[in-house]
Amino acid sequence: MSVEVLVNDVKPNTYQWTCRLTLIEKQNIRTAKTSPMKFMPMILQDSTGTKVQATAFQGDIEGIDQRLSVYSTYLISNAYVKPVTQMRYCIDVNYPYVWSFNRRTLIQDVDAPEGVDFREIAESETAAFRDIFDSYQHATRINILGAIVKKLPRTFIVSDGKQRTAWDVVVINEECIPLPFTMWEEFVSKHGGEIEKLLNSGGYPLVLINRVAINLFQGLALSTRYDCHMELNPDGARALSLKKWVDGNAIKIATLVQDKAYNDALSIISKPLAQPRSTLSGLETGLLEVIVVWVLGKFSLVDTSQEFFYIGCNYCNRRVYGPEGITFQCLFCGQKLGTTTKR
């Protein structure tokens, strides 16, 4: 007979156990890097807040995917448990194990723990936009909640000689900070159609993104990663408050989009003049513990006879053989209204 336990009580040598868990994330189906094997990671949480990653593989994916629903609670019995091989794949540092689900895993529907709203918990764990640059500096993974207010022209990018689907959208929240956000491949396939439909109808879809990637491409931008989780139009209290704000500030949002304020996200969030500055000699010490360093200096041209620019796409900066000021569709990034610009 199985005994009901908490996640922390389940180890590889634990037998005949049952755990009450709520599914809080169901990630995209992915293919292993070194083999054609497909797998679908999921994240579950018990009543104490301890999280565990469980994975379904190959022929078990469809059955498990149909059986489990996000924010529903189940009794899970006797899943396969093994240690995490690399801690970067550990979803909870206090529980260094992962589970595997298959068609033999016993799954029973039960009521959620009384007084626990996992939707509210997920939304409360989101970061403020003003803290995103600091998170980047310290390589901290964050979650964000925002409204998608515009889709930009790009539809693909050429990377490592391959054309990959990539959509750029603009997200905003109550802080009035618009940020560019890139959705890659499977996220476009899964959510792109609904996002475009809502935008075309005049609506602004809300999006909750867990473990969003932060990069400094052309300033500051966000993007999906292989282990991101995206949820469109979450319906917790935090999301409802954001939706009310968006509906009441449509004119302000439209002005920010028209002014392309999202192109200046790095300056808005990082506030360079308020940041500590380094000297050039300080950069050579190798003792800096942050990713971005601000240096106050003056440029001087040693040789004014040479050219200090090339002609390239105004979006992806890739070189294009042509004169300046031509409107074209870039074959590197898919920008349909690209402009040849000095770079």
Predicted pLDDT at 85:
85
Tokens of 158: 């050429």
CATH class of 3-110: mainly beta
Q: Please, which residues have CB within 8 angstroms of residue 177's CB and are 6 or more apart in sequence?
A: 129, 130, 265, 268, 269
What pLDDT sits at residue 114?
65
**What is the model's pTM?**
0.80
**For 244-275, what is each residue's pLDDT tens digit?**
999 999 999 999 999 999 888 888 888 777 77
The per-residue pLDDT for 124 is 73
Tokens of 150: 């515009």
For the chain, which ranges sit under pLDDT 50? none
Residue spans of the domains in the chain: they are: 3-110, 120-270
Residue count of the chain, please give it. 343
Map tokens 């300046």 to a residue. Answer: 324
Residue 232's CB is within 10 A of a number of other CB atoms, namely 14
Concatenated DSSP letters of 55-100? EEEGGGHHHHHHH--TT-EEEEES-EEEE-SSGGG-S-TT--EEEE
- Structurally, what CATH architecture does the domain formed by 120-270 represent? Beta Barrel (2.40)
The confidence score (pLDDT) of residue 147 equals 97
- The phi and psi torsions of 250 (rounded to 5 degrees) equal -60, -40
pLDDT at 2: 72
3-110 with 120-270: one CATH topology? yes
Give 156-203 pLDDT, tens digit per residue.
888 878 898 989 999 999 999 999 999 999 999 999 999 999 999 999
- The reported pLDDT for the residue numbered 284 is 63
pLDDT of residue 122: 72
Dig out the tokens for 203 from the structure: 């609506």
DSSP state for residue 28 in the 8-state scheme = P
Per-residue pLDDT, 290: 64
